[in-house]
Amino acid sequence: MSATLRLGSDDAVYLLVGRERYRIAPDDLRGLIFHGHAVPVTREGPAIVGHAAVNPAGRAVKVFTVSGHFIVPLVSFRRVAAGEARSAPLFPLVPEGWP
């Protein structure tokens, strides 16, 4: 399943996963990127359907949604959130200990 990260015209970051569209609000981006706080991921409307957090090493953002779990390098996430990059791929997150 392909998944992409994009910046919306409302300055929110959108995760496009298959036919699903998830959103990280602009107000939450600062806490995620600069402070490493876990933030909610919503679907169209106010329903929280997951969360995003910086990994313990501080080099990637892990995104957990009802459609799956993904990872993206923090540098790529920052570039998209700042509008420096148009999009970035989200990679499927394989659970630790997976063969």
| 89 has pLDDT over 70 | yes
Average pLDDT (28-48) is: 92
pLDDT at 45: 72
Sheet (strand 39-43) strand order:
87-89, 3-7, 13-17, 20-24, 39-43, 48-54, 60-65, 68-73, 91-92
In eight-state DSSP terms, residue 93 is P
What's the confidence (pLDDT) of residue 95?
65
**pLDDT reported for residue 99:** 58
- When mean pLDDT is compared across 16-20, 22-26, 38-42, the lowest value belongs to 16-20
